[in-house]
Amino acid sequence: MNTNEIISAERRYLVQTYVRPDMVLSHGEGCTLWDCDGRRYLDFMAGIAVVALGHADAEWAAAVQAQAGRLAHVSNLFHTAPHVELARRLVENSFADRVFFGNSGSEANEAALKFARKAAKAAGHEGKTGIVAFTGSFHGRTMGALAVTAKEAYRAPFAPLVPGVTFAPFNDVEAARAAIGPDTCAVIVEPVQGEGGVNPATGDFLQALRAACDEHGALLIFDEVQCGLGRTGTLWAHEAYGVAPDMMTLAKPLANGLPIGVVLVTEAVAGVLQPGDHGSTFGAGPLVCAAACVVFDRVSAPAFLADVREKGAYLLERLNALDSPHITAVRGCGLLVGVELDEPVAPILAAARERGLLIINAGTHVIRLAPPLVVTKEQIDEAVELLAVSLKL
């Protein structure tokens, strides 16, 4: 099929939940993608902050190929080596004592919310079912994850959602303290909000959440699905704050494009979970875990993280130097950067794509830059120049 045939077949056969541009991507290498008509794109969105090692990474591809040729799936009813190899890496490099594997960010958040409900019941608090989430949050599209996602347009068509959720304003210490009480079993927050506009939490805010959770016996969940695993220049985004959660969820970059989700938990949380409490058919499969081990070893290396910090600072510096009357703010951590405009960003994203730069929005007024973490300074220069032209500078 050629480009036009593929696009018309998509319109005929797919549920129309996405509006895709009129191009068909065929292959990639590092931070570069090509479409079926041979046009080249500089990828500054990495499949929504997923492809951390870049496209077609040789080591990742070799690990996937080798594992696919050996064993891809047996279900969680059996032991295999790759899932313990990955679990050991995650536990030994985080606050956590144990992990549970699923297949996506939404699923990881579902599991974390379920674990919090069970923990409260196990402690004898039947009515302790409340969950506190924040404005600007994005935790996923499944019923439970959607219930803690703030955006009304995502929620309204599917109401009623999971009950018991209260939203408090993000980064408002007093409002958070008021929202968290004896009936709260969990507080869920992104240390750096991604979809909501690239908004870093303040240190005071995360510290206040930790203190309020401790005071009321609630579990603090950090959703690092987007900001975790090196994206912000530290292995975990929360490292920069010196605040540890009771649970943390990961997904997007962990297997460099294969589906995976994880909940990392303390022993206290793990201790309330028994065989049969939760499960997943596909989770923790040897294929995806072998791929994830490659990603983890690469992104957790101190030199790799230092490089992300340096390139992130360079990207911020270059963006801050753009002289546009429409740019109202430039913010970010590491290689998760937002450029806020005083106008909707959709036409700018389309203009950038026409010039060969792939970027995404985070809300209506923020351009999000989240390139593969292996991006080079030369590619950052090229992206900033293409963005400048797209902004008509």
310 secondary structure, DSSP code: H
- At closest approach, how far in Å is the CB of 255 from ligand PLP? 11
Which of residues 223, 246, 307, 340 is near ligand PLP by CB under 6 A?
223
- Strands of the sheet containing 32-35, edge to edge, are 25-29, 32-35, 40-43, 357-358
138 binds ligand PLP (CB under 6 A): yes
Which residues, listed in sequence order, are joined to residue 369 by a DSSP beta bridge?
A: 337
Which of residues 112, 198, 251, 291 is near ligand PLP by CB under 6 A?
251
Interactions with ligand PLP, residue window 179-218 (CB under 6 A): 190, 194-195
- At closest approach, how far in Å is the CB of 190 from ligand PLP? 5
Which CB, 96 or 111, lies closer to ligand PLP?
111
- At closest approach, how far in Å is the CB of 391 from ligand PLP? 25
139 binds ligand PLP (CB under 6 A): yes
Q: What is the DSSP string of 7-58?
A: HHHHHHHS-S-----S--EEEEEBTEEEETT--EEEESSHHHHT-TT-BT-H
Region of 221-229, 239-247, 283-291, 316-324 interacting with ligand PLP (CB under 6 A): 221-229
57 binds ligand PLP (CB under 6 A): no
Instruction: Tell me the longest C-alpha to C-alpha distance in the chain.
Output: 62
User: CA nearest 104: which of 54, 140, 61, 154?
Assistant: 140
How far is Cα 225 from Cα 340, in angstroms, rounded to an integer?
Answer: 22
Which residues, listed in sequence order, are joined to residue 247 by a DSSP beta bridge?
A: 221, 265
Token readout for 181 is 């009480």
Region of 11-19, 134-142, 150-158, 305-313 interacting with ligand PLP (CB under 6 A): 134-142
Interactions with ligand PLP, residue window 69-108 (CB under 6 A): 104-106
Residues that bind ligand PLP (CB under 6 A): 104-106, 109, 138-140, 190, 194-195, 223, 225-226, 251-252
